[in-house]
Amino acid sequence: MFSLAVFILGSLWGSFCNVCIYRLPEDKGVITGRSHCLNCKSKISWYDNIPFISFLILRGQCRNCKIKIDYQYFLVESIAALSFLAIFKIYGLSTTTLLFFILSISFIIIFFIDLKHLIIPNEITYSMMIIGFIKSFDPYLNQSLFPNYFHSLVGGVLGYLIIWSIYYFYKKFKNKEGMGLGDAKLLSAIGFWFGWISIPFILIFSSVLAILISIPSLINKSKTMTTQIPYGPYLISGCLLYIILLEQIQKFL
């Protein structure tokens, strides 16, 4: 029953993520106004806004104008629900679970916004920084996973400075931006959460993933080395790899 409740909770938060993914890039309030069809503008009734179920019943179409609903809505709700369930299965009823719930919501919103719009909302990264630093004062948290306030602070500063340095020097010598400061704020937030020791590994993981995924596009020349890419999703993926491989990394160190 707990697992089912967590899965449902995750899907509901996934629905909230969809609202943020759509509204934040357009500077719209996420808690004001009812959801509506992007095509016909008709208000969406509560029974057409139930995670998973409504999408399947409506066969992925608006009830009013029959236009196709972006499959992203179903995908985001699925990822959020499965993420919540996986976190609960691993960490049970704990503060760590609550923290990872918050982190997963933040990561999902950033991932899809950056992927589509090439921006990372300050509202999310600043909130992550604050929560990441505040939690570091809790002595009862797993210190191997969540560092103390000193390592957290150093991680936040280091994460920002590394990407800011890339941004500054690339712009100085190439006269154009190499990376965005949104990426710097995201890596800073991750540094606040997992400390300075996580930064090198996350940068390595994210860079390798970016290269591997970009190779086919470079080969078929649909992209060039100067093509702008959303790096936020790679930083998030790198962070997830760091968390998954943390035990092996600690043995290596």
- The whole-number average pLDDT for the span 91-111 is 96
pLDDT on residue 156: 97
Tokens, residue 82: 């499965």
- d(CA 130, CA 218) in angstroms, rounded, equals 38
pLDDT on residue 184: 95
Q: Is 36 helix (H, G, I), strand (E, B) or coil?
A: strand
- Say if residues 189 and 209 touch (Cβ distance below 8 Å): no
- The whole-number average pLDDT for the span 162-169 is 89
pLDDT on residue 143: 82
pLDDT on residue 182: 92
pLDDT (tens digit per residue) in 39-74 = 677 777 766 677 878 878 877 777 778 778 778 889
- d(CA 58, CA 17) in angstroms, rounded, equals 21
Confidence bin at 218 (pLDDT 50/70/90):
confident
From the list 109, 126, 112, the residue with the least C-alpha distance to 17 is: 109
DSSP letter (8 states) at residue 67: P
- Say if residues 246 and 145 touch (Cβ distance below 8 Å): yes
Computed over every residue of the chain, the mean pLDDT equals 88
- What are the phi and psi torsion angles at 33 (to 5°)? 80, 140
pLDDT on residue 158: 97
Alpha helices in the chain (DSSP H): 2-23, 53-57, 72-91, 95-117, 122-135, 149-174, 181-194, 198-219, 232-244, 246-252
- Say if residues 84 and 7 touch (Cβ distance below 8 Å): yes
Residue 232: pLDDT above 80? yes
Q: What is the percent of the chain with per-residue pLDDT over 90, rounded to a whole number? A: 60
CB half-sphere exposure, 210, CA atoms < 13 A:
20
pLDDT on residue 168: 83
pLDDT on residue 199: 97
- The whole-number average pLDDT for the span 142-156 is 93
Q: DSSP letters along 192-250, please?
A: HHH-TTHHHHHHHHHHHHHHHHHHHHHHTTSS-TT-----HHHHHHHHHHHHHTHHHHH
pLDDT on residue 128: 97
pLDDT on residue 70: 79
Determine whether 246 is exposed, middle or buried from the number of CB atoms within 10 Å of its CB (0-12, 13-18, 19+). Answer: middle
pLDDT on residue 88: 97
pLDDT on residue 228: 78
Distances (CA, A) of 97 to 68, 143, 159: 36, 15, 24
